[in-house]
A and B are shown apart, each in its own frame.
Chain A
Amino acid sequence: MRKIYISIAALLLIALLPSCRSEVNKTLIVTGQSSHNWMESSETVKQILDETGLFRSKIILTPPKGEDMSRFDPAFMRYDLVVIDYDGDQWPEKAVAALTEYVKNGGGVVLFNSANSPLATSYDSVSLTTRSEFEVRTVNTDHPVTRGLPVRWLHPDDILTRGVDPAGEDGVLLATASAGQAGPRGRRMVPVMAARTMGEGRIFVTMLGTPDEEGSKALHCSGFITTLLRGAEWAATGSVTHEVPSDFPTAAGSVVRSGFKAIDSREAFENIGSYDISQSTKYFTWLQTEIRKASGDDAKLLELEKKMVDVLRKSTATNEAKSLIIRELSWMGSDYCLPVVKELESVEELKDDVIFALERLQ
C-alpha cells in the first residue's frame, strides 16, 4: 500500500514538473559478472551518475557466471541510458537483439570497463597491465565528450586492457593511455575511450575505472568521473552539459576526490577561507576557473566579487586566503571591494598585497 502512495506522489510530482522529468535520464546499470569487483564498480557508477541529478539509475544483475542466462531479458526500451558493467558469459540472443534494437532506435549505452559484453567490439586476445598511474592522451578534442579537456592528464592506480579497440570500425577514438615504461619505440598507447553511433543511438566506451581493495583511486579520479558523466550524458541525449571541472587532472598530476562530486560554489566559499597552501590549492583553482567562466559578464563577476569580499570580512579566514583573494581582486575587482581591501592594509601580513591591489584598482 505504501508503495502505491509513493508511486502516486511520484506521478504527481512528475506531472507537476514536466521540465524536471525530461532532464533526468532514466538509467539501467547492468552488471553481475566481471573480472573486476563489479559490486563496487556498479555501485560507484550509480552514485556518480545519480549525484549530479542528471540521471536516476537502477542496478540489475545478470545470472552468476556459468548459470543459465536464457531468462535474462531486461526491458531496455524503458530507459534513456543503459550502462553495461559486464565482462563474462554470453548473453542470450534475445537480450543482445533487444539491446541492439534499443540503440538503433536512439537509446544510449555506456560500456564501462566491459570487454566480453554485448556491443563490445570484437578482438582477438586481451591482456591486462599491472596497476599503476598512467598518462591519458585526449586524442580527439572536437567530440562533445572530450571538448575542452586537457590533451594530457594523469590517471591513478588503474589497470589497462590491451588488445581491445573500443572505437571499433565506425567509432571515434577519444583517448589513449600509455602503459608501462617507454620502450625503444616510445610508450605503447592503449585505446581507452571511444564514442560510437549505431542507427539512431550512441555508445560511449570507457576502459578506465577498475576498482581495487584500497579505496579505488581509479574510480575517484576526477578525470574518470568527468569523462564517465560526459560520456553518459552524450550517449543519453547527444549533447553534453556537465562542465569540465576545475579539478580535472593535468599532466602536472592526477586528482583523486574524496567523494565523487565536483566542487560547487557553496563548498568552495565555505572552505576557501581556511585556505592553507600546504593542504590543498583546489578551492583557489576553483575560484580562478569561475572567474574565467564569468569573463566579460559584469554581473557574474560582481557576484563572485561579493562572495570574495565576504571572505575578506571573515575574522576566521586565514591571511593566506585573504592574500590570494586580494590578488585576484586586483584585476577583476570593482569599486565594490575597495573599502574592505583598504581596511586590510593595517594587517601586516596583507600590507604588500593591499598595496599591490590598490595600485591596479585605483
Chain B
Amino acid sequence: MSKARTSRRTFVKRSAAAAAGFFTLPVIIPSSVLGMGGKTAPSNRVVIGSIGTGSQGMSNMRDFLKLGDAVRFVAVCDVDSARLLKAKETVDTANKSNDCSTYADYREFIEKEQLDAVSLALPDHWHGIIYTAVADKKWNVYGEKPICRTIKDGQTIVAAVKKNNIIWQTGCWQRSQAHFRKGAELVRNGRAGKISHIEVGLPDGGKGIGTPPVMDVPPELDWEMWLGPAPATPYRGVCHWNWRWILDYSGGQMTDWAGHHIDIANWGTGMEYTGPVEISGEGVYPPEGIYNAPVEYDFTCKFANGMTMRVANSSRLPHGMGTTWYGDLGWIHTDRGNVLRASDAKLLEEEIGENEIHLYKSDNHWLNFIEGVRTGKPTIAPIEPGYRAICTGLLGEIAMTTGETIRWDPDKEEIIGNPRAERLLSRPYRKPWELPTV
C-alpha cells in the first residue's frame, strides 16, 4: 500500500473490494459491536496510527491490538528508525500484511495519513506541538499523560481539543481499574465524610549518572528532531526513557505521575475541572550531574473550599504511593496493585446506592477510547481533567523552582501577583518551532 493513505471509508471499500475480487461495488456489511458477539465489521473498525513508538507507545499499541478487529493500525511514526521498524513489524504481524506505513517526521505523517484516531506517546516537551497538530487534523486522540510540559502548552492543547470537538482519552488508565473507581466513588459519596485533606504519593527519584561525555548520535536516531523545541544540546547517550530526569524535557517522577494519582484524587473529590488557589513547597535537586529533575518534592495546594492536597515523593508520606483522602469520618487510600484501604474497613463495605453518585465505569481504557471514537460517547478521561491534574503538578514545580508561595486563579488560569513565577507558565520554543495559537 502506498504511503498516501486513503480515508477510512475508501479503505473499507478497498478492503471489501479486495475481498470480493474487485467486482462487487459497495458491499453493505452488517455492523456488530465488539463485545456483543461476532466480529467487528470493517466499517466499524477504527483506523489508527501511532506517533512515538517507545516503551509506552508500544505498550499502548499492544493494548489496542488486544482489541482485535476493533482497530486497525495502519501507520507509525518515530524519530528512531530502529524503533519504527519494530513497531511496523508488530503492526504487520497483527494485520498479517506488510502495509503499515512508516514516517520519521510527524508532519508528513499528519499530512499524508487519513485516520480515525491516533495514539501519542512522546516526550513531554513535544506534547504542545504534536497534540495540537493532530487535534487540528480532527483525529481522535489517545494521548499519554502528562498532558503537557508547561501550563501554556496544556491550555493550548485543551483549546485545540475543544475547538475541534474530537474524542480524547488521556492515558491515565488507572481510571479504568475497578478499585480506583470504587475508591473515588466512595469518596465522592461522602463515605469518608467531608474531605479536608488529600495526600498524593508519587515515586522517589532515582540514582544519577553524573554527566556522560558527548558521543556520536546512533545512526538510527534523529537527535535534532527528538530535541525539537527543546534547547540544542550535544548527545550524551541520554534519550529514550531517561529523558524523564532532565528538566528540559520533563519534570521528573512528579510530573510523570501527577497525571495518575492527582487525577484520581480530583476524580474522588469531583474537582476535575478546577484547581488549587495557593501552592507552596520544596524540592530536593541533585547537586551533580545531567539529571536535574527533583528527586524529592513536597508541596501543598490549598483549594478555594479550604481543602488541602499534599503532593510528595512517597518516602515522605505515611501511606506511601497512591492517593489518600482524609475526611471527618476517616481516610481512604488507593494505589496500584489493587490497593483500597481505609482507616476503618467499614467505610469500604456499604454499597453505593442507586440514587447515589455513580462514576463513569470503564473496564478497559483502550476499548473505552475506541468505543468513544465509534459512537461519539465521551470517554472516561477527557482532556480537561487530564490537564487539570498535571496543571497542579506544574504549579508545584513553579513553587519549588521559585521558592515562593504561588497564588493561582483556577477559573482564569492565571498566576496572581507574581510576574517572575508567571514567566514559568511557558517555555519559549527553540526556533523554528512554535507553539501553535488556537
**A binding-site residues for B, Cβ under 8 Å:** 137, 141, 148, 150-152, 154, 222, 246-253, 255, 277-278, 280-282, 285, 288-289, 291-296, 327, 330-332, 352-353, 355-356, 359-361
Of chain A, the residue at the smallest CB distance from B398 is A331
**CB <8 Å contact, A152 and B296:** yes
Name the contact of A252 in the complex, choosing from B214, B286, B424 (C-beta under 8 A).
B286
CA distance A361 to B214 in the complex (A): 31
**CB <8 Å contact, B231 and A150:** no
Name the contact of B286 in the complex, choosing from A250, A291, A356, A361 (C-beta under 8 A).
A250
Main secondary structure of the interface of A (DSSP, over half): mixed
**Given the complex, which residues of B lie within 8 Å of A252, measured CB to CB?**
205-208, 286, 288-289, 291, 295
**CB <8 Å contact, B287 and A250:** yes
**CB <8 Å contact, B207 and A251:** yes
**CB <8 Å contact, A292 and B401:** yes
B346 within 8 A of A: no
**CB <8 Å contact, B428 and A360:** yes
**CB <8 Å contact, A280 and B288:** yes
Count of B residues near A, CB < 8 Å? 39
CA distance A291 to B402 in the complex (A): 7
**Given the complex, which residues of B lie within 8 Å of A277, measured CB to CB?**
211, 290
**CB <8 Å contact, B232 and A352:** yes
Of chain B, the residue at the smallest CB distance from A291 is B403
**Given the complex, which residues of A lie within 8 Å of B315, measured CB to CB?**
137, 151-152
B328 within 8 A of A: no
**CB <8 Å contact, A332 and B428:** no
CA distance A22 to B350 in the complex (A): 64
A356-B401 in contact given A152-B296, A250-B295, A285-B288 (Cβ < 8 Å): no
**CB <8 Å contact, B231 and A356:** yes
Name the contact of B285 in the complex, choosing from A288, A295, A330, A361 (C-beta under 8 A).
A288
**Given the complex, which residues of A lie within 8 Å of B205, measured CB to CB?**
250-252
Please provide the chain B residues from 418 to 435 with a CB less than 8 Å away from any CB of chain A in the complex. 420, 423-424, 426-428, 430-431
Q: What are 15 contact pairs spanning A and B, CB under 8 A?
A: A137-B315, A151-B296, A247-B288, A250-B205, A252-B207, A252-B289, A252-B291, A278-B214, A281-B287, A292-B403, A295-B404, A327-B231, A332-B420, A352-B232, A352-B431
CA distance A137 to B313 in the complex (A): 13
CA distance A249 to B296 in the complex (A): 12
**Given the complex, which residues of A lie within 8 Å of B403, measured CB to CB?**
291-296
Please provide the chain B residues from 58 to 82 with a CB less than 8 Å away from any CB of chain A in the complex. none
In the complex, besides A151-B316, A353-B231, 7 extra interface pairs with C-beta distance below 8 angstroms are A150-B296, A251-B295, A278-B211, A278-B213, A282-B288, A292-B403, A295-B404
**CB <8 Å contact, B402 and A352:** no
B92 within 8 A of A: no
Of chain A, the residue at the smallest CB distance from B290 is A277
CA distance A114 to B424 in the complex (A): 49
B113 within 8 A of A: no
**Given the complex, which residues of B lie within 8 Å of A246, measured CB to CB?**
287
**Given the complex, which residues of A lie within 8 Å of B287, measured CB to CB?**
222, 246-250, 255, 281-282, 285
**CB <8 Å contact, B428 and A152:** no
**Given the complex, which residues of A lie within 8 Å of B207, measured CB to CB?**
154, 251-253
Q: Mark B176-217, 1 if CB is under 8 A from A, else 0.
A: 000000000000000000000000000011111011011000
What's the least CB distance linking A297 to chain B, in Å?
A: 10
**Given the complex, which residues of B lie within 8 Å of A280, measured CB to CB?**
288
Of chain A, the residue at the smallest CB distance from B288 is A281
Name the contact of B430 in the complex, choosing from A253, A294, A296, A356 (C-beta under 8 A).
A356
B438 within 8 A of A: no
**Given the complex, which residues of B lie within 8 Å of A361, measured CB to CB?**
423
B339 within 8 A of A: no
**Given the complex, which residues of A lie within 8 Å of B18, measured CB to CB?**
none
Of chain B, the residue at the smallest CB distance from A361 is B423
Please provide the chain B residues from 211 to 260 with a CB less than 8 Å away from any CB of chain A in the complex. 211, 213-214, 231-232
**CB <8 Å contact, B428 and A281:** no
**CB <8 Å contact, B404 and A359:** no
B357 within 8 A of A: no
**Which 6 A-B residue pairs are closest in the complex by CB-CB distance?**
A295-B403, A292-B403, A252-B286, A252-B208, A359-B428, A247-B287
What's the least CB distance linking B297 to chain A, in Å?
A: 11
A253-B204 in contact given A150-B295, A152-B315, A277-B211 (Cβ < 8 Å): no
